[in-house]
Amino acid sequence: MAKEYRVFVVEDENLIAKNIAKNIEAENPAFKVTGMFSNGEDALSAISEQPPEVVFTDISMPVMSGLELASKIHESFSHVKTVIITGYADFEYVKEALHYDVEDYLLKPVNKEELNKVLKKIELSLTDISDPHSHSAGEERDLSPQEIVTLVKDYVKKNYAGDLDLNTIAQNLGFSSSYLTKIFNKIENTTPSKYIRNYRMGVAKQLLADKDMTISQVASCVGYNDPFHFSKSFKQTFGISPTDFKEKAGS
């Protein structure tokens, strides 16, 4: 019998919670939603009694926010994988959530294709944990070039909001930076460094559509401490300044 993984959905809007639960089970039958909670406190109590493998949690909730819940899970239930669900208005908190080793994040409304990717990544990770013969990063591994590229992309998605460069990725994945560049360029026809920039700019483009976020806030959310450097990179990528893009998006 195929392995099944228990999932908790934590979301204060009941209809949204039901929809997320339905989509999780539809996208990957290996995951079964065994609990739905309207706030972090109730979810934490249930996790304490019988921890699931995965928790999908909204950020903004009464009683205990998803951010607090992610922090508590990180402290006491490090084997439980957490996925943050957030709207544009709360996106700046995603950067903080990354400190709690969250597995991934999804923007509302949850895109089924993105959900599918997240579930597949978690399933692979959980399979590795349960398989004593699986290899962790840094060990001798027989990985295909495509698998190495996927590892790099996953690492970028999880860490783009902080200090991130090619050397950091290479050290954490257990490869030399020159080898990673060679493999990545061969498969993706671009360098890892350009991929990092393009990924950050893609997220920035989404965030700039939120009229409540300033350009400095957006820059910080995608790993740029210097708004001028961010603006320069954005214009190089899209041929338009963040200010002009924001004005067009709001019109």
The verdict on 145 and 124 lying in the same domain is: no
The verdict on 31 and 61 lying in the same domain is: yes
User: Residue 209 falls within a domain, yes or no?
Assistant: yes
Dump pLDDT digits (tens) for 101-132: 788 888 888 888 889 989 988 887 787 655 54
* Gap between the Cα atoms of 35 and 135, Å rounded: 32
Dump pLDDT digits (tens) for 182-225: 889 888 999 899 999 999 999 998 888 888 889 999 999 999 98
The percent of residues in the chain predicted with pLDDT above 70, rounded, is 88
CB atoms within 10 A of CB 136: 9
* Gap between the Cα atoms of 90 and 79, Å rounded: 26
The verdict on 38 and 74 lying in the same domain is: yes
Dump pLDDT digits (tens) for 17-33: 999 999 999 999 999 99
User: Residue 175 falls within a domain, yes or no?
Assistant: yes
* Gap between the Cα atoms of 48 and 73, Å rounded: 9
Domain boundary pick from 77, 111, 130: 130
0.75 surpassed by pTM: no
Yes or no: say if 99 and 75 are a contact pair by the CB < 8 Å rule. no
User: Residue 241 falls within a domain, yes or no?
Assistant: yes
Domain with 238, as residue range(s), is: 140-251
